[in-house]
Amino acid sequence: AVGPHERGNLVAACFVDLDVFKLINDTHGHRTGDHIIRIAAERLSRRLREGDLLVRHGGDEFVAVLHDLESPAAALQAADRLRQALTEPFAIEGTTFDVTASAGVAVCSAAGCDQDDLLRQADIALYAAKARGRNQTVLFDDELEVLTEVAERQRRMLRHALDHDGVVMHFQPLVDSETGRPVAFEALARCLDPQGVLHGPGSFLDSISSSGMIWELDQRAFRLSCEAAAVLQRVVPVDTPVIGCNFSPLSIVQPDFASYVERTVAECGVEPANICIEITETAAFAGGQHSLDAVTTLHRAGFKIALDDFGTGYSSLSHLRDLPLHSVKMDRSFVARFTENGPEKAIAEAVVGLAGDLGLGVVAEGVETGEQLSIARNLGFRTIQGWHYDRAMPLDEILHRWVDTLMELAAATPG
């Protein structure tokens, strides 16, 4: 149990939400889900002080009202203890579930507190916790209010793009640094706002990362990418450059994710081997066995699988062995530090060595300078992605800019 707080004059509202709970319901049934909710409620109740209040706020979300807090920092600590109570494994009928949770907390003076406003602010903080990657606690502040308003504008912009064919794809080449030929192109979504201005993913992805719109966007982007892959198949029928397609963790946990991917590729007339599904470690494990099964299904169907953004967060070399991969992409933030006197180069050498032993390709992302290219090649990275070779651009520009090297590949086609 949590020890008593210093008595103060602040009251806090704390929203606590189980991450990816819907997947447990969908894959293990509502009986299991209900059992988890009951255990969660018991754990939270045990961590409240006398006079605090806990209510279930629908589905997998709880609201705790905490009284007599000394400071916002004390409220944040109390909220995080509640959240951590839900991260302990749930053992149900012989099966153990590892569940993470997110929390948002807001505080106000007990003497003049608007309850509706307090709950709204706590909900905003919870949304921010999920948007930042889940499994964390966020305290509401004025800056968060501004960011929320910006995020709402971004969501409206994306909604407009989805409803008015405003999603377009740009493609950045992955180049074989020995031959200078593109071996793949990563597909990156762009959105047109109502004024016709094109926005990159930084303008909207964070604001929708925990919403249903991300699956809608991923589906639209994937179909457009497959249509581009069909064009490349016709232009370069031999050694066709692969199109790399990104999916968010919320998309990969969809029950029909693998079947959707296979169906879309078939409808577009694209060979699975010409599509690479790029996933992060978070995405690969977001839905537990369901996510792993989906990725394995696509691997067996002939799709290439790449582990994206490796070197960020809690990257584990064991994942290179355990996941059904074709390649691993070293994150740009990691590559950017190759020129510094840090451990990055030694770690990169270990990754390249293990990947080679496992028969995996390795890609250095975000290579922008000749110095970075030289270091990456010396470390064993043959495939390079970044502005040193080219930016992301529409398909027609790709075909125009890279037509000579693409035609060299096409010339190998038997007559």
Tokens 């793009």 found at: 161
- What domains, with CATH codes, occur in the chain? 10-140 (3.30.70.270), 158-410 (3.20.20.450)
Tokens 């979504």 found at: 189
3-state secondary structure of 100: coil
Compute the distance between CA of residue 171 and CA of residue 174 in angstroms, rounded to an integer. 10
Question: Which pLDDT belongs to residue 310?
Answer: 84
Question: Which pLDDT belongs to residue 4?
Answer: 40
Residue pair 184/199 in contact by the 8 Å Cβ criterion:
no
Tokens 């794809």 found at: 169
Compute the distance between CA of residue 206 and CA of residue 214 in angstroms, rounded to an integer. 10
pLDDT tens string for the chain (415 positions)?
333 444 568 999 999 999 878 777 777 788 888 999 999 999 999 999 888 999 998 778 999 999 999 999 999 999 999 999 999 889 888 888 888 899 999 999 887 778 888 998 999 899 888 877 788 999 999 888 787 777 788 888 889 999 999 999 999 999 999 988 999 999 999 999 899 888 887 666 666 665 678 899 999 999 999 999 999 999 888 888 999 999 988 888 888 999 999 999 999 999 999 999 999 887 777 666 778 899 999 999 999 999 998 876 555 777 788 889 999 999 888 788 777 666 778 888 888 999 999 999 999 999 999 999 999 999 999 999 999 999 999 999 999 888 777 776 556 555 5
Q: In degrees to the nearest 10, what's the CA dihedral of 254, 259, 265, 271?
A: 120
Distance of CA 257 to the CA centre of its chain: 15
> In the 8-state DSSP scheme, what is residue 5?
P
Question: Which pLDDT belongs to residue 1?
Answer: 30
Taken as a whole, the chain contains a residue count of: 415
Question: Which pLDDT belongs to residue 221?
Answer: 97
Question: Which pLDDT belongs to residue 270?
Answer: 98
Q: Token digits for 288? A: 């537990």
Compute the distance between CA of residue 307 and CA of residue 228 in angstroms, rounded to an integer. 22
Cα dist. 321→17, 350, 354, 379, 406 in Å? 32, 13, 9, 20, 33
Compute the distance between CA of residue 151 and CA of residue 157 in angstroms, rounded to an integer. 10
- Among residues 126, 94, 182, the alpha carbon closest in space to that of 392 is found at 182
